[in-house]
Structure 1
Amino acid sequence: MQISYHGHSVVKIQTGNHTILIDPFITGNELTDLKAAEEKPDVILLTHAHNDHVGDTIELAKNNDAQVVATVELANYLGSQGVNAVGMNLGGSKEFDFGTVKYTKAFHSSSFTTEDGQVIYGGMPAGILFKAEGKTIYHAGDTELFGDMELIGKRNSIDLAFVPIGDFFTMGPEDAAYAVELLQPKTVVPVHYNTFPPIKQDPSAFKDLVKNAEVNILEAGGSIEL
């Protein structure tokens, strides 16, 4: 299984049979190496409804007949736009043909703003535990540090975690490093930084703070094999 990072919080997972995109914010993302017209996902997983995470989901899903998995309120909105969307909620898991998805809590906000300025409530924000081919990947989504990360770490052997470090909108490097201590992943990749001026960070400072996991700082397009 190949997992690659594509700027902001965009993650691509290539299993033996499926291409999965998490939070495909491509158009308008100056840090990404992807082009929406060239992506061919089978599945899109969303952590929450903010535009810099939903991104190109509607276009990608329609163009590729991709299944979208999101929290139920966001899934209902996407379904109203003609997308094949499955709505889940926190604590729930489902085994799909591409892998198992479980939604975990995250502490953030969640709404989608349409092109005409309408604000759509997106339900609870979430993290995602994704399991396939004997491996477990955790994408924390946008969140602050919270104590139940310890439970997530104890109840799941996490091979690879993606955690935000940008501060301002999410936890910053110090809190993210403590989150890694609680989650106990084998490898961690920092995300959600340097996209906008308020979240400018030096990821090497985060790396220096992490003592219990391998930190892999990926440039857009960089990948890890599991």
Structure 2
Amino acid sequence: MKITYFGHACFLVEFGGKKLLFDPFITANPLAKGIDWQQIKADYILITHGHQDHVLDVEAIAKNTDATLISNFEIITWFSEKGLKKSHSMNHGGKFSFDFGSVKYVNAVHSSALPDGSNGGNPGGFVIWGKDGCFYAAGDTALTEDMKLIPLTCPKPDVAILPIGDNFTMGYEDAAIAADFVQCNKVMGIHYNTFPPITIDTAKAQAHFAAQGKELLLPAIGETISV
């Protein structure tokens, strides 16, 4: 699979012959000023929770690409009222087979409210698997023992995409423990360095992972990596 990082918690995974875009927040992120959102092609947009720094560009990109939205019931309903009817709602513990592979919506420990104050439902993450392998996109979350259920109920991930910025989510130390819980030694870090409260020492974070025999991938904004 190929993963392109667009900054903050936004990335695109080429998987199962489709392009899966996660949590688009580009136009208000000064670190992503080199990204032209109109050039992003997406077949699906997956949304972990309702905060503005995860949904800001959903509507524009969905209308530009005719992408199908995947998220929880409350977020799908909110975007449906904006005219985005091409969607699929899920809830925690449920899985569904799409044309690119299987998706399971799993727990995240965070909060969720949409930009206008509407109920964003409960936050979550996604485990996705198919012919191209398996990956875990955790969304914004604290470290939780629920992660131990993932390798018991899904294939073991080839890569775990985890928040590492601390303050609003787990930091990189807890993310390394999360990697143990999901039995995955290859991690891609997200949700760091965008705002002052989540600025981290990236070299120290990578050294922490390396000391435990794990790899922490930190692609540059706009960079594509193969996993």
TM-score, with length taken from structure 1: 0.92
Q: In the TM superposition, what are the counterparts of 1:73-112 in structure 2 within 5 Å?
A: 73-83=74-84, 84-112=86-114
For 2:198, give the aligned amino acid. I
Q: In the TM superposition, what are the counterparts of 1:1-226 in structure 2 within 5 Å?
A: 1-15=1-15, 17-32=17-32, 33-83=34-84, 84-113=86-115, 118-155=116-153, 156-210=155-209, 211-226=212-227
Query: For residues 212 and 185 of structure 1, what CA distance do their matches in structure 2 show?
Result: 11
Please give the secondary structure, in 1, of the residue aligned with 2:12. Answer: strand
Do the aligned residues in 2 keep the contact of 1:190 with 1:203 (CA within 8 Å)?
Answer: no
Q: Which runs of no fewer than 5 residues in structure 1 stay unpaired?
A: none
CA deviation vs aligned residue, 1:120-166 (integer Å, no higher than 9, x gap) = 11101001111132411111100001112122134431101111111
Please give the secondary structure, in 2, of the residue aligned with 1:28. Answer: coil
TM-score, with length taken from structure 2: 0.92
Give the direction of change, closer, same or farther, for the CA distance of 1:41–1:215 in structure 2 (3 Å limit): same
Query: For residues 223 and 181 of structure 2, what CA distance do their matches in structure 1 show?
Result: 26
For 1:7, give the aligned amino acid. G
Query: For residues 75 and 173 of structure 1, what CA distance do their matches in structure 2 show?
Result: 31
CA deviation vs aligned residue, 1:49-78 (integer Å, no higher than 9, x gap) = 111011211111112211000111000111
Give the direction of change, closer, same or farther, for the CA distance of 1:124–1:157 in structure 2 (3 Å limit): same
Do the aligned residues in 2 keep the contact of 1:181 with 1:212 (CA within 8 Å)?
Answer: no
Query: For residues 25 and 194 of structure 2, what CA distance do their matches in structure 1 show?
Result: 11
Please give the secondary structure, in 1, of the residue aligned with 2:31. Answer: coil
Please give the secondary structure, in 1, of the residue aligned with 2:167. Answer: coil
Deviates more, 1:196-205 or 1:88-97: 196-205
How far apart are residue 224 of structure 1 and its match? 2.5
Give the total of aligned pairs: 222
Do the aligned residues in 1 keep the contact of 2:15 with 2:132 (CA within 8 Å)?
Answer: no
CA deviation vs aligned residue, 1:70-119 (integer Å, no higher than 9, x gap) = 11100011111111221100111111112221110000001111xxxx31
For 1:64, give the aligned amino acid. T
- Computed over aligned residues only, the root mean square deviation of the Cα atoms, in angstroms, reads 1.5
Query: For residues 30 and 151 of structure 2, what CA distance do their matches in structure 1 show?
Result: 33
Query: For residues 123 and 76 of structure 2, what CA distance do their matches in structure 1 show?
Result: 12
Please give the secondary structure, in 1, of the residue aligned with 2:145. Answer: coil
For 1:35, give the aligned amino acid. D
How far apart are residue 212 of structure 1 and its match? 4.1
For 1:195, give the aligned amino acid. T
How far apart are residue 208 of structure 1 and its match? 2.0
Do the aligned residues in 2 keep the contact of 1:3 with 1:14 (CA within 8 Å)?
Answer: yes
Deviates more, 1:212-221 or 1:163-172: 212-221
Identity of aligned residues (%): 41
How far apart are residue 10 of structure 1 and its match? 0.8
Do the aligned residues in 2 keep the contact of 1:138 with 1:158 (CA within 8 Å)?
Answer: yes
